[in-house]
Structure 1
Amino acid sequence: MMRRGGAQVQTGGARGPRRSAALHHPAVAVAVQAGAVLHPAADFRQCRPMFRPVTLPLWLLVLILLFAAVTFASHFLFPSVRWFFRKRMERAVARLNTRLARPIEPFKLARRHDMIQRLIYDPAVTQAVVEHARREGVPENVAFEQARDHAREIVPSFSATAYFTFGTRAAQWLSRALYRIRLGAFDRAALDAIDPDAAVVFVMNHRSNMDYVLVTWLAARTSALSYAVGEWARVWPLAPLIRAMGAYFIRRRDRGALYRRVLQRYVQMATAGGVTQAIFPEGGLSLDGRLASPKTGLLGHIVEDFARHSRDVIFVPVALNYDRVLEDRVLIGAAAAGNRRFRVPLSKIAGAVLGHFAERLTGRFDGFGTASVSFGRPLSLSEFLGPETPGPNTAGVVARQLMARIEEVMPVLPVPLVAGILLDASPLPAERIELRVAARLAMLHGRGVALPRRDAARITADALAILRRRRLVVEGGEGIAPAPGAGPLLAFYAASVTHHFEPARLAAPRPD
């Protein structure tokens, strides 16, 4: 035992030298001077390096805290927040489904990541991956990653909140801001009789890019629609919004066998899952105003897979027509050039938008006329096929049948009606145009065609007001005639209803 400054320090044994060295440690010296008694069994924690203070730069401390916060958030906070909001969304969707005629199916509400995984591990897709790797001479894992990229490009990320809170309201506002909206032919009894478990597919003619907006709003009380959208919309910030609305992107060109298989399986899985869809069998906008020959791309995928699931598929024909198509001059220019490249300079678009706002601010904007939507007779695929299974030509037959039903209910609007009259005979006084309008309406009366809910005088006045405002007609001593260079535009509008006045159609028996 050794006494120092009144403090007793016990030492002894073979550990004496090491204990003596420890006594020279500054912390021990302080303890001794303070009168503390250090027992030989003390662990000297204060002397170990791991308990010594460490000096760090401030930026490193901030970085460590940031990494810790991110780790905590990703492992504890974010999952809880996601769970909370997903539960809220599920309750909101459950309330929403009570108001919809066709509730949103679970397939549409699945997480995008889960849908991508389900799609790329589908047996048909994995077989296509193997064939693609063999054909292109690449490893299968490379081909699999290409399939994953295709799936990410196609699969949407539907948000019920974005669709019903923002999307449908924006669609309603825009439609009413530009057009006078009219519902044409509409057989409510036939639509209400559709099997609630069937997959409904709205098949529409493609007249304008406003088609998406108009039908989204009008079908909002029925269900959430899933569209196929072209590559033109794959730009920020449009692409995330369109995906949130439930639309999926498809390529018009550069589509290999692997891409086609991934797209095919997604469409077939959505149909088997009961997702309400909307497709344009023409494959693009009409360049001349007429209905184009149908293509059997997406429609063929749906028909081909019909025998592999128990759900019926109901096709609902939808006909759209406008007094003013926003892209009419662009479409006519593409038709004259012989291609479908719609390259509009950004300056021209900006000028048109600014001019429109100027008209609104000055009170000179009087609308673009009427936009009308008609619903044709639904076609049940199970009833159409009967006991037969779909063959290689079935999709073409179904497509032609649907286009014929669209033609039957194509709305007749003032501008197309008067444009056709002016192209047939001009110049004509306004009174003579009115008489011809009345005669043509009488021809179509009772044939199930959607006609304007106005008399001939009002129809003529409304159509001429729009044509004058666009400087498509001129007035002289003999009456009203097409303006120089206005022929292609008038023909574009007249072509949308010309089929109603074909002799064979007028001679056919009137529908019951």
Structure 2
Amino acid sequence: MQINPLMFDVIEIPVWCVWLAGILACIGLLDRILMPTVRWYLKRRLDRAVEVLNNKLDLKIQPFKLTKRRVLIDRLTNDPTVVQAILNHSAEENTPFAVSQHLAERYAREIVPAFSAAIYFKVAIRLARWISTALYRVRLGYVDRKALQALDKDATVIFVMNHRSNMDYVLVTYLAARRSALAYAVGEWARVWPLKPLIKSMGGYFIRRRSHSKLYRQVLARYVQMATEAGVAQAVFPEGQLTRDGRLQPAKLGLLNYIISGFDPNGTRDVHFVPVGLNYDRVIEDRILIASHRGERTKTVVKIREFFRFVGKYLWLRLRGRMYRFGYASVSFGAPISLKEFIAGRPKSSHEASTKALGKVLMARVGEAVPVLPVSLIARVFLTNTKAQLSIAQVHSKAKRELDRLLEAGAYMHVPRADFEYAVEVGLRMLVLRHAIRHEDDKYQLNPQHSDIISYYAQSIAHLA
């Protein structure tokens, strides 16, 4: 056999090729050997962390929340109901199936969260605690502990809340931290950086409340139903938006209808709705909301400017040691409502009729849970005495009569330091600082220029009277 002498010649290779080959070899080594080991180690640590958390939480983190986001998106897009909705959309819009399917997948990517237990429990809850306690004196109001402790551990728990402020998300996350990781239904306003990735990592999902697309609504409905069937603890605001005039608004039935229409009364998993009532001595965005109620259009640029103005003023006062917290913020938890029992106690009817009935019951229970706070009580006093000049003794007397009437109707009031006179002083001080009440010659009188502030806070407990 003849050997080719060229086989033993030296071949010169550029240095950059050697470096490139070495880098590619290292990447291959990491991908095939080291990365699987690291992923296994991290997953093992995550599983242990979730197991520890589940031992501490009243409502365990369900496997559905820990499923990879890509898997959930595929499950949702290929769900038989969604596939049928894609076919209907293609026929109605006269578009190819692939185009409609791509649109449905885009909706699914928009809706499906990317829950991270580490971010929720190590970042979000600590941040929520810091923000809540920095701005308010946070108090837990009435809690029906026996009813909450008797909840079926396998049931899906949905916290149903009134919507007074964007602080609602922060406050309830903080106060419900020991119970579970809540998945919020969040409006489009939060689809901005850095809120969007943070909310998704906390398990929240976004809702286009004004969307008229049947395909979008079907994708959203199936996600809500899948999460409910899997036992994911959720928090929803049936009012759909912040109250503009302070009153408790009637329920918008979209999410409730999705839940009821996908619910099997004969199934093994029940759904429990927990009414949650929130109230504040001061709602941070109250003037913007009141202006909106008057019909004044507030541009997004103005809202952003006001936000940064508020943050700047807060930090400046804090640095100077002159920052006072915005009074009290309180949350009450009412007795849960079982969906199985609610349906069993009603004559057979359509999902729409059941949803309307459930919406009314839930909002009534939420209204009952709203706590009375010093500012709302004093606002009620001056709303019924718009022109009177009242001494501090007269304010005490009228506030006591108003409170007795509310308590007889079943209301709950947080009395700071268990001292009613101090509570009255807190309410007066807050409203005087807001210029809603004038304090002259030891007399208190409503300021007509800011009567809308008085009305706004008085209306927060009007349904209790």
Fold equivalence (TM over 0.5): yes
CA displacement at 1:255 relative to structure 2: 4.0
Instruction: Give the Cα separation in 2 of the matches to 1:343 and 1:319.
Output: 31
Unaligned regions of 5+ residues in structure 2, if any?
Answer: none
CA displacement at 1:478 relative to structure 2: 7.7
Change (3 A) 1:57 1:42: same
Instruction: Give the Cα separation in 2 of the matches to 1:108 and 1:77.
Output: 27
Name 1:507's counterpart in structure 2.
Answer: none
* SS at structure 1 position matched to 2:438: strand
CA displacement at 1:480 relative to structure 2: 1.2
Q: 1:166-194 deviations in whole A, cap 9, x for unaligned?
A: 11111111111111111112110011111
- 2:72 paired residue among 103, 115, 125: 115
> Would you say the 8 A contact 1:178–1:367 is kept in 2?
yes
Instruction: Give the Cα separation in 2 of the matches to 1:64 and 1:241.
Output: 39
Name 2:377's counterpart in structure 1.
Answer: 417
Q: Computing the radius of gyration over CA atoms, which structure comes out larger, 1 or 2?
A: 1
- 2:332 paired residue among 374, 378, 382: 374
Instruction: Give the Cα separation in 2 of the matches to 1:87 and 1:72.
Output: 22
Name 2:100's counterpart in structure 1.
Answer: 143
Name 1:260's counterpart in structure 2.
Answer: 217
* One-letter amino acid of the structure 2 residue matched with residue 219 of structure 1: A
Instruction: Give the Cα separation in 2 of the matches to 1:327 and 1:63.
Output: 57
* SS at structure 1 position matched to 2:37: helix
Instruction: Give the Cα separation in 1 of the matches to 2:311 and 2:38.
Output: 41
2:6 counterpart of 1:47: yes
> Would you say the 8 A contact 2:119–2:202 is kept in 1?
yes
CA displacement at 1:68 relative to structure 2: 4.1
Name 1:213's counterpart in structure 2.
Answer: 170
2:455 counterpart of 1:455: no
Identity of aligned residues (%): 44
Instruction: Give the Cα separation in 1 of the matches to 2:296 and 2:358.
Output: 29
Change (3 A) 1:470 1:338: closer
> Would you say the 8 A contact 1:473–1:481 is kept in 2?
yes
Name 1:319's counterpart in structure 2.
Answer: 277
- 2:288 paired residue among 326, 330, 350: 330
Change (3 A) 1:158 1:411: same
* One-letter amino acid of the structure 1 residue matched with residue 375 of structure 2: V
CA displacement at 1:109 relative to structure 2: 0.9
Name 1:443's counterpart in structure 2.
Answer: 405
Q: 1:318-362 deviations in whole A, cap 9, x for unaligned?
A: 000000001101111111126797653433322211110111111
Change (3 A) 1:85 1:162: same
Instruction: Give the Cα separation in 2 of the matches to 1:215 and 1:62.
Output: 54
Please report the RMSD computed on the Cα atoms of aligned residues, expressed in angstroms. 2.0
> Would you say the 8 A contact 1:474–1:480 is kept in 2?
yes
> Would you say the 8 A contact 2:288–2:298 is kept in 1?
no
- 2:244 paired residue among 272, 287, 306: 287
* SS at structure 2 position matched to 1:184: strand
CA displacement at 1:467 relative to structure 2: 1.5
Instruction: Give the Cα separation in 2 of the matches to 1:299 and 1:67.
Output: 53
Runs in 1 of length 4+ with deviation above 6 angstroms?
338-341
Count of matched residue positions in the alignment of Structure 1 and Structure 2: 458
* SS at structure 2 position matched to 1:412: coil
Instruction: Give the Cα separation in 2 of the matches to 1:222 and 1:306.
Output: 24
Name 2:445's counterpart in structure 1.
Answer: 481
CA displacement at 1:247 relative to structure 2: 0.4
* One-letter amino acid of the structure 1 residue matched with residue 103 of structure 2: Q
Q: 1:395-437 deviations in whole A, cap 9, x for unaligned?
A: 1110100000111121001101111211211321222111111
Name 1:276's counterpart in structure 2.
Answer: 233
Q: 1:125-177 deviations in whole A, cap 9, x for unaligned?
A: 00111111111111111111111111100000101111111111111111111
* SS at structure 2 position matched to 1:126: helix
Q: 1:271-305 deviations in whole A, cap 9, x for unaligned?
A: 00000000000001000000111111111100111
CA displacement at 1:251 relative to structure 2: 1.1
- 2:429 paired residue among 456, 465, 485: 465
* One-letter amino acid of the structure 2 residue matched with residue 468 of structure 1: V
* SS at structure 1 position matched to 2:449: coil
> Would you say the 8 A contact 1:330–1:342 is kept in 2?
no
Instruction: Give the Cα separation in 2 of the matches to 1:274 and 1:341.
Output: 40
CA displacement at 1:69 relative to structure 2: 3.8
Name 1:495's counterpart in structure 2.
Answer: 459
* One-letter amino acid of the structure 2 residue matched with residue 80 of structure 1: T
Change (3 A) 1:270 1:306: same
Name 1:28's counterpart in structure 2.
Answer: none
Instruction: Give the Cα separation in 2 of the matches to 1:112 and 1:247.
Output: 13
2:391 counterpart of 1:429: yes
Name 1:11's counterpart in structure 2.
Answer: none
2:321 counterpart of 1:357: no
* One-letter amino acid of the structure 1 residue matched with residue 48 of structure 2: R
* One-letter amino acid of the structure 2 residue matched with residue 466 of structure 1: M
> Would you say the 8 A contact 2:409–2:464 is kept in 1?
no
- 1:248 paired residue among 187, 205, 220: 205
* SS at structure 1 position matched to 2:294: helix
Name 1:200's counterpart in structure 2.
Answer: 157
Name 1:17's counterpart in structure 2.
Answer: none
Change (3 A) 1:480 1:82: same
CA displacement at 1:365 relative to structure 2: 1.4
* One-letter amino acid of the structure 1 residue matched with residue 413 of structure 2: L
Q: How high is the TM-score relative to the length of structure 2?
A: 0.93
Change (3 A) 1:410 1:257: same
Instruction: Give the Cα separation in 2 of the matches to 1:397 and 1:312.
Output: 18
Name 1:92's counterpart in structure 2.
Answer: 49
> Would you say the 8 A contact 1:156–1:246 is kept in 2?
yes
CA displacement at 1:439 relative to structure 2: 1.2
Task: Within 5 Å, give how 1:332-351 maps onto structure 2.
Answer: 332-337=290-295, 344-351=302-309
Instruction: Give the Cα separation in 1 of the matches to 2:292 and 2:141.
Output: 30
CA displacement at 1:444 relative to structure 2: 2.9
